[in-house]
Chains A and B, each alone.
Chain A
């Protein structure tokens, strides 16, 4: 069997135990990055969806929308990158749910890594792979609309990373809270739809109906979209939006870690 212990494996385990915590967290995160890229179908689907949404839907509908001071095609394209990163960040929840169902979690718990490092590594991995995955789309948008200044690009990427980190925490929270597979699928899909649509990512706040506009500015997707749009298009720094994103990360990473930790220690997956 490929998983049988070998002298080489034993050496690896010994050396892993001796590694510093940050290295172990990074190793855990890199595992999640490689897991996503082993499922090319997900990448193809999301990439196709992004391209059709931006270059067919946004391109055509922007011909029917005339807002003073805003190029809606450009607005939608930046928003699409934000909603895509949110969408891909949710995938970590599916992975964690599947691992629990298939028994892979038991294997992960036998690894020479503390629970805390495991949880932080998973959340970091979810965010890292979302960023890696979204960068080509970000580049397409940046090249198409001529966003070339390094500082605004870095600020926008930071906002995207914070969003991905927080959404990963949210996804982990749901994955370890819902026990039924079908329910988990639809709850996560609904949550993804709600945070993306009830936000300012795809349409300016002034046009959102009042019953949604009341809370849309507080959606994490809105924070990231507002920050990215301000940086790239208006060349300004939206500090309240970044502060909102940091708060979102702290809350959901904390919640995700707490729930995951409870499940690991004597919960249904133990």
Chain B
């Protein structure tokens, strides 16, 4: 079989793993709902004087956090395959080149993440009034591109974490960085100057800015215009992390 036909098969396997317990997908949506309709809604009422509705300002963040959780779940599955299920040897016997296998696993994680956030992205598009416009496809592109980087990162962690505690710790540290040291809750200008470069290089900052630019509402300190610039900037770290994940997966498979 050619590589072109094998890639969808590997992705399909990953998607089937996601749906082996549909309950997990439902719980991810429940998490998203709590984030959006409890936390974001409350902060929307607390924060005033930002020129526009703060709830709508932070709403895409709930969806991107769900995408992040789903993307990390893919890395955790890779970790379980190696350390718990001992499946690595079996996967290496498959008639597929290792780089293709590794990159397909990353793509599988992205597809899983987009599926897990499918209803959430629809909700955000509805809130932004772009549900029935072509911008909805851009919204899914942003989620997919953001997930690409996070899946790559989570697979890289899986390669180096020998215990689940270490894996969970590194994941939590990255999640803290993505959530709190980004423009998710406040504009970059709010941060002290020494943190500004860290915030500006955070993929979450560009993903959420791209989302906000899809909205017809103009938010304070979000540059007007289409999302293409932000998407292009997001693509940089996402592709770099995806490459890192692919390389680490190949490296750890050889161990």
Contact = CB atoms under 8 A, between A and B. Distances in A.
Interface of A: 39, 41-42, 44-45, 48-49, 52-53, 56-57, 60-61, 63-67, 72, 180, 182-183, 186-187, 189-190, 193-194, 197-198, 203, 207-209, 211-212
The size bracket of the interface on B is 35 or more
B30 A52 contact: no
Contact of A64 (B27, B41, B47, B163): B47
B231 to A, nearest CB: 26
Nearest to B21: A182
Contacts, number: 94
A91 B21 CA distance: 23
A206 to B, nearest CB: 9
A175 B70 CA distance: 23
Interface string B181-197: 10001100011000000
A64 B58 CA distance: 14
A187 B27 CA distance: 8
Interface of B: 21, 23-24, 27-28, 30-31, 34-35, 37-39, 41-43, 45-50, 54, 163, 165-166, 168-169, 172-173, 176, 180-181, 185-186, 190-191
Report whether over half of chain B's contact residues are helix, strand or loop; otherwise say mixed.
helix
Nearest to B24: A186
A31 B165 CA distance: 20
A193 B31 contact: yes
A173 to B, nearest CB: 18
Contact of A49 (B41, B54, B163, B176): B176
A65 B46 contact: yes
A44 B49 contact: no
A193 B37 CA distance: 13
A182 B39 contact: no
Contact of B34 (A57, A65, A198, A208): A198
Nearest to B163: A41
Contact of B41 (A42, A180, A209): A209
